[in-house]
Amino acid sequence: MDFRSQSAALDGLATQAADALVLVIAGQVLPQGLDSAAAALIKDAIKLGDFELKAGQCLSLLRPAGFKAQRLVLVAAGAATTKAAKAAVAAGLGQLKGKGAAHAAIAFAGFAAEQTEALAEHAVLAAADAVYVYRHTKPSAPAPGKLAKITLLADKDQAKAVKAGLTRGQAIAAGIELARECANRPGNYATPSFLADQVRGLGRSHGLKVEVLDQKAIAKLGMGSFLAVAQGSDEPPRFIVARYEGAPKTQAPVVLVGKGITFDSGGISLKPGAEMDEMKFDMGGAASVLGTLRAVAELKPKINLVVIIAACENMPSGRALKPGDVITSMSGQTIEVLNTDAEGRLILCDALTYAERFKPKAVVDVATLTGACVIALGGVRSGMYASDDELAQSLSSAGDAALDPCWRMPLDDEYEEGLKSNFADVANVGSRAGGSITAAMFLKRFATQYRWGHLDIAGTAWKGGAAKGGTGRPVGLLTHFVLSQAR
């Protein structure tokens, strides 16, 4: 999709040529300075009961009098917030779905000037989401809609802010699309080798350093925990490392680690059959750090970024890891495996140990780790854990700016009691109570040499039911976080 900006005052909207003009209005009264033709139409619509200045209200007018645009779509945002504006843009573009509009112009009324950059970013994201359709394995998917061009209208003195928002929004949208495409691929397509190929391709197109380790190289590093999970599958594991270098080599990098279980059967601790098909999404962490890598590589901030993906399948077989087995991690710590379906932490712990070699500024791992996090937070916020308050605040602020929110969870020492083992240094699970927290406490043992954060995205990485599909979260959060570390 082609995104552009154009200088246009609110009192000149009627002169803007487009297939459709989407006007997003904040507040419960008409803003001052609005185009007289638009104001007249809105007042008439309100008087006739066809439109209200209440969040979610939409009205589509064909060939409105006095307008160059063939369609005028009025959308009430309600509150003058970026979140409300994004929802309104999505609703307005929804009015054009299946119609003949190829070019839509979007204008905001009733919002503060300092919101312009964020409004531009999230208008792009709303538009990109509106036109996304997965079709890789579905030839019968609907043909792409005609909407191909979006123009953001803003005052001339806001041109710089609009451009910055458009640039960031397009990069994040591209990252989200890549993450969704990877997550939506079935497990027989999106294998560990497929993920490795995706990273290699990104490396070639964006000048990144990429290293892919095969099973022999992984074993040489002593990643016994990672390989224990992979050993039950015929699909070979891949340990993927990609580097974006936008700052001097002396600057410590930010490291993102993604869980890449491309299909999770649960292993010997087999999952119930219902909804097991959704376990193709268990590589949502890997997909999101890959999408973030793309966004960052396109934005080219002055920062060093390392992305690590541990990718394998978790399958039952005669070779598979068994409950009660004791394995040795790369760190040398031994782990008693009480449940083979708690496999994500077993691959991540070796990746976190590997991350030490980069002497990082901070490490954030991202994983569809626990059903317990879904129970705690649902599908609205990702669970966030951090070893220090400054990192936690950075992640939280990034999530708020990206409208991709997280919620800080506790890491009290007492939660570690449930991970004690009579036969190893640590057990891989505790009791059901506080399951997301004990999973984080397990990972924390392997992240003692740097500032560490953990995002449990089990509730946010995909949607089930009729809307089944990857969301691309938390690419937005992670991109804003990485950009904040470049300052």
Q: How many CB atoms lie within 10 A of CB 259?
A: 30
Choose among 232, 231, 237: nearest CA to 194.
237
Strand order in the sheet with 103-109: 2-7, 149-154, 103-109, 20-26, 71-78, 58-62
- Taking the C-alpha atoms of residue 391 and residue 397, their distance in angstroms, rounded to an integer, is 10
3-state secondary structure of 455: strand
Catalytic residues: 271, 345
The end-to-end CA distance of the chain, in Å, is 30
Among candidate residues 168, 379, 340, 347, the one with its CA nearest the CA of residue 261: 347
Can you read off the two tokens belonging to residue 207?
């000048």
> What would the DSSP string read from start to end of 279-290?
GGGGGHHHHHHH
Q: Is 240 exposed, middle or buried (0-12, 13-18, 19+ CB in 10 A)?
A: buried
Decide if 10 contacts 106 (C-beta within 8 A).
Answer: no
Per the CB < 8 A criterion, the answer to whether 303 and 486 are in contact is yes
3-state secondary structure of 125: helix
